[in-house]
Amino acid sequence: MSNTLEGKVMLVTGGGRGVGKDIAALAAQHGAKVMINDLGSELGGDGVDVGVAESAAAEIRAAGGVASASGASVTDRKAVAEMIDQCVDELGGLHYVVNNAGIVRDRMFHKMSHEEWDSVLDVHLNGSFNVSNAAAKIFREQESGCFLHMTSTSGLIGNLGQANYMAAKLGIAAMSRSISIDMQRSNVRSNCLAPFALSRMTESIPDQGATDNSAHLDSIRKMDPAKIAPLVIALGADSCDVSGQIFAVRGNEIFIMSQPRPLRSMHRSEGWTPETVLDHALPALESNFTPIERSRDVFCWDVV
């Protein structure tokens, strides 16, 4: 095993289970000291189980690695600040932050409550900001550091009944881009990753007996969460200078995702009226419209 992250301290939120746990384990195998943060809550965010983070950390230590555990909620700024201090005190610093913590509370948009909206944005978007903002001071002082934020094709493309999750995940992509711009002068990098993997979140997608959805879920269940970790480790290496990008991993496939850029333009020297927009601009631009698709419509081929 190589020492890609030798001498680094990595913080992984939501690191007690699933994708986060696999990332933490592989990071430790590649030389990193790992702080595993996990509130240990249920999928919807209810409950607390501090043993989830500690159990994952204990597995790393049993395998010969170095790991500490934190049960801090990423929505609690004071607890996050204490967790960052814990990283420095127990592991000797902080070099890589993986924002992976999340919950889901899926519901059709017109039936979604304000609490369901707020809670998902609070964990995903606000939580990612809280952890990144607290770590930024250390990164600026040492003039180095790396962020990896978990986005989702639910936000980048779309999914049914996930307005809160979609808004949070697309917001995370924008936040990551902002960090890559604002902290470039401090040699701090920031990227996003949309993972395809079997997890508690993907298992929560309703089947509802639909043939196409059942096939989609069967496809997801073939995706090993451990396949996500190698790209995460590589993006934290000193030899990597990649920043401001959005990646996706699906089985053995790695994708670079597009980001919003102009596709086509129309102009009239005399300006536009509602009538000429309807008669000229919209018909001319229509071939470049983005269809209303779900993630599974775009990633429609079998897992490699």
Per-residue pLDDT for the chain (304 aa), expressed as one digit of tens each?
Answer: 678 999 999 999 999 999 999 999 999 999 999 999 999 988 888 878 889 999 999 999 999 999 999 999 999 999 999 999 999 999 999 999 999 999 999 999 999 999 999 999 999 999 999 999 999 999 999 999 999 999 999 999 999 999 999 999 999 999 999 999 999 999 999 999 999 986 555 555 555 444 455 555 666 666 789 999 999 999 999 999 999 999 999 999 999 999 999 999 999 999 999 999 999 999 999 999 999 999 999 999 888 8
Distance CA 266, CA 293 (A): 25
Which has the closest alpha carbon to 243: 166, 197, 187?
187
CA distances from 17 to 75, 126, 133, 198, 224 (A): 19, 21, 24, 11, 13
Determine whether domain 9-259 maps to CATH 3.40.50.20: no
Can you give the pLDDT at residue 205?
A: 52
What residue ranges do the domains of the chain occupy? 9-259
Question: pTM score > 0.85 for this model?
Answer: yes
Q: Tell me the sheet residues that pair with 249.
A: 195, 254
165 is catalytic: yes
Pairing of strands 246-250, 253-256: antiparallel
CA distances from 223 to 217, 232, 248, 279 (A): 10, 16, 13, 47
Whether 145 contacts 139, CB under 8 Å: yes
Catalytic residue among 96, 147, 165, 247: 165
Distance CA 1, CA 168 (A): 36
Q: How many CA atoms lie within 13 A of 208 on its CB side?
A: 7
Q: Give the CA angle between residues 70, 39, 24 to the nearest 5°.
A: 60
Which has the closest alpha carbon to 164: 113, 101, 220, 99?
113
Distance CA 156, CA 192 (A): 11
Distance CA 196, CA 247 (A): 11
Can you give the pLDDT at residue 46?
A: 82
Please count the other Cβ atoms lying within 10 Å of the Cβ belonging to residue 189: 25
Q: Is 291 helix (H, G, I), strand (E, B) or coil?
A: coil
Distance CA 183, CA 191 (A): 12
Can you give the pLDDT at residue 208?
A: 45
Can you give the pLDDT at residue 45?
A: 84
Can you give the pLDDT at residue 203?
A: 52
